[in-house]
Structure 1
């Protein structure tokens, strides 16, 4: 999906669908690429800001949209905060070790399955 298609679709969506799209956007463009880049299951707020700013410039997205998606990932428990460090849910670590492409749908299924 191109960025233009994404922006057009979002205008037609309701509140819940927009929140999901913001989470998906942040996960697939910011958080997961950052995790693979730093090659560990956590990142600092400074690393996040640097990646966020790069993505905002490249994709022409407002930082407020990214911020809303990031907070939503925190609320869902996909990203966890401990003091100044943010980490991904423990069930996602094997994907990180394999350097696999991890889309948002897989993330949701993975953290919601009982094992």
Structure 2
């Protein structure tokens, strides 16, 4: 039951942030990273699609597994971008790392 609550919370979080990213409100961050504007759209689309997958995954576990793995990969890339490309401090990458681990945990729970 706890994992389902976490799954919903993570799903809603990514639905919110994905919408914010795809709307262009974070375009300056993507420019700061030296990425073309298409990455703004693609990242938002991945987050929104995966968020829906996590919610659907309540009834169809395979959707949660796939969505969680996609989100984990996305957050791993986000942490890499923050640390290596943007040269931000480790503390800036902690949210991405935590979200990566939570996404992996959700996926793995549905595999067991």
Please, what TM-score do these two structures have when normalized by structure 2?
0.33
Q: Which has the higher contact order (CA 8 A, sep 6+)?
A: 1
Higher helix share: 2
Higher strand share: 1
